[in-house]
Amino acid sequence: MLQSTSRGIQISGAFIIISMSSVMIYWNSYQTKSADITIVNLTRQTTEISIKTCLKNPPSLVGHFVFHHFNGTLEDLNNKYQKYKPELGGKFKPLECQEREKLAIIIPYRDRQRHLMDFLSHMPPMLLRQRVEFTIFVIEQDPQEKFNRALMMNVGYLEALKQDNYSCFIFHDVDMYPINDNNIYKCSTSPRHLAVAVEKWKFRLPFRGYYGGVVAYPKAVIEKTNGFSNFYFGWGGEDDDLGARLAVVGLKFVRPAAVYGRYATPVHGKDKGNPVSKDRFRLLGNAKSRIWYDGLNSVVYNVSKIEKKKIYTHIHITVDRQKLEENVKLKNIELEMQHLKSSPINKQ
């Protein structure tokens, strides 16, 4: 407030106006003499601070690049990525811009330490060039039960959402390494199958309906398909089941061009504890009818340990197959009862 007296009074004030997108500083000097007030604006300084949104096609992309095996330690990788300032648990953010989409990479895992080290060495540099905000989640199943890849993808989705509000999920085999960074790790409105040209199949699809290896799902689509089936213990069937779920909800996979969706794959033997599933064809026969009760809404598991490492999050789980199957049956009965109650006949 300015007050006039018989003597000259000089009052200086700083006014700072702060908004979400800019900071403006105004400096004014006011001088009064006798009863007259003369306002003299001496200086006005404006400083605007804005955060750029990351470009869809970052200029840092290199196109095709070579996969190399990693021979160092986890501590070597921790030191390598320190300059990118990841948060504990391996949450990486672009330093140059702000990305609107939060990406969770989900890796179903068991007894693949060599491949995991290669993955952790190979993937973050590419994702950082793509200006992606991401966290890598490794979901490890206890070895007492047969490997269940699809169930671990359900677990990864649910556990990741307990950590942050991720909007895009990429379900990724640990032994597949992209070798072209124009294959952007982001989601669209449709699910995306990214592993189009894989080395072990001479950089071709093994068959037209193959949707395995690496898939990108927006959160809304995962919820729409009730995630993945929980019943595929052992190798095979879960990817075809996924295709059936998409057909039920009227969706299809989209793919990048084969020249971009290229993946290196190391040669290795068959996994212990992951024999070929003898039930896979029977399960595929009723895959479309199971979608509403076999998935996210009926998965049963126990988290035995969560390790928030410097560059990734490692979640250890155990699965009781009998309890899981009982819960899926109960969910089916529950949905059938709800359907009966809502039917027009019962409303009369």
Residue 3 is predicted with a pLDDT of 43
**Amino acid 48: pLDDT:** 37
With a CB cutoff of 8 Å and minimum separation 6, the contacts of 67 are 118, 122, 177, 179, 264
For position 11, what pLDDT does the model report? 40
Give me the chain's average pLDDT, please. 85
Place of tokens 């212990």: 272
- Tally the residues of the chain: 348
* pLDDT tens-digit readout, 123-135: 999 999 999 999 9
pLDDT score recorded for residue 122: 97
DSSP 196-212: -EEGGGTTB-SSTT---
- Contact criterion met (CB below 8 Å) for 318 and 304: yes
* Contact status, residue 194 vs residue 143, Cβ threshold 8 Å: no
**Domains in the chain: ranges and CATH:** 9-47 (no CATH), 74-332 (3.90.550.10)
- Angle at alpha carbon of residue 30, lines to 24 and 36, rounded to 5°: 145
214-265: pLDDT as tens digits = 999 999 999 999 999 999 999 888 989 998 999 999 999 999 999 999 999 9
pLDDT given at position 343: 63
Of 170 and 281, more confident: 170
Find, among 242, 321, 325, the residue nearest to 288 by Cα: 242
Nearest by Cα to 126 from 50, 76, 68: 68
**Per-residue confidence (pLDDT) for residue 273, from 0 to 100:** 63
Full-prediction pTM beyond 0.75? Answer: yes
Buried b (16+ CB within 10 A) or exposed e, 121-143: bbbbebbbbbbbbbbbbbbbbee
Query: CB within 8 A of 292, min separation 6: which ones?
Result: 226, 335
pLDDT at residue number 49: 44
| DSSP one-letter code for 302 | E
pLDDT at position 143, please?
Answer: 87
Any idea which of 148-157, 199-208, 298-307 has the lowest mean pLDDT? Answer: 199-208
Confidence at residue 37, expressed as pLDDT on a 0 to 100 scale: 39
The 10s digit of each residue's pLDDT in 42-71 is: 333 433 345 788 888 888 899 999 999 999
Query: pLDDT grade, residue 346 (50/70/90)?
Result: low
Q: What is the pLDDT of residue 111?
A: 87
Q: How confident is the model at residue 138 (pLDDT cuts 50, 70, 90)?
A: very high
